Amino acid sequence: MHSNLDNGPVLTKTRELCETIINQTDFLAMRRDVETFLADDDARSRYHSLANKGQDLQYKQQQGAQLTREEIEAFEQERETIMQNGVIRGFLEAQQQMQRVHETVGRYVMKAMELGRVPEEDDFAGCGQGCSCGH
């Protein structure tokens, strides 16, 4: 049993990493964008409506039905309109940035476990499909 990997120094350093991430100016801006979106009932409603329409279209396609040009164009037009809303656009950009941070941290941790050392930037060059780093 490797209990020191579940707590102790690993947990301490993980908590330090979390603190470093959440104290970054960029992260604070991302959180602000998410909170602004969550506080805006109209933006949330419009976003969820579009997401539901997208899921409906995807379900229809998965059932073997062909989407009509009108359905696709209506969805794309609504998506373009919604993306003009700064609150929604800020929320989506914040989500993407947070996802990139999550992926980067995960990639480094996985690569460190593979190599048995802290990875360098060069360790990620030339990764191919099937590599655990996600490239």
How many Cα atoms are found within 13 Å in the side-chain-facing hemisphere of 115?
Answer: 16
Tokens of 42: 């109209």
What gap in Å lies between CA 88 and CA 80, rounded to an integer? 11
pLDDT tens track for 52-111: 999 999 999 999 999 999 999 999 999 999 999 999 999 999 999 999 999 999 999 999
Whether 123 and 115 have beta carbons less than 8 Å apart is answered as yes
**Predicted pLDDT of residue 7:** 75
**Amino acid letter, 81:** T
The whole-chain average pLDDT of the chain stands at 90
Higher pLDDT, residue 75 or 5: 75
Higher pLDDT, residue 132 or 90: 90
Confidence of residue 3 (pLDDT cuts 50, 70, 90): low
What gap in Å lies between CA 32 and CA 12, rounded to an integer? 27
**Predicted pLDDT of residue 127:** 56
Confidence of residue 8 (pLDDT cuts 50, 70, 90): confident
Q: Phi first, then psi: what are they for 130, rounded to 5°?
A: 95, -10
How many Cα atoms are found within 13 Å in the side-chain-facing hemisphere of 107?
Answer: 17
133 pLDDT higher than 70: no
**Predicted pLDDT of residue 125:** 86
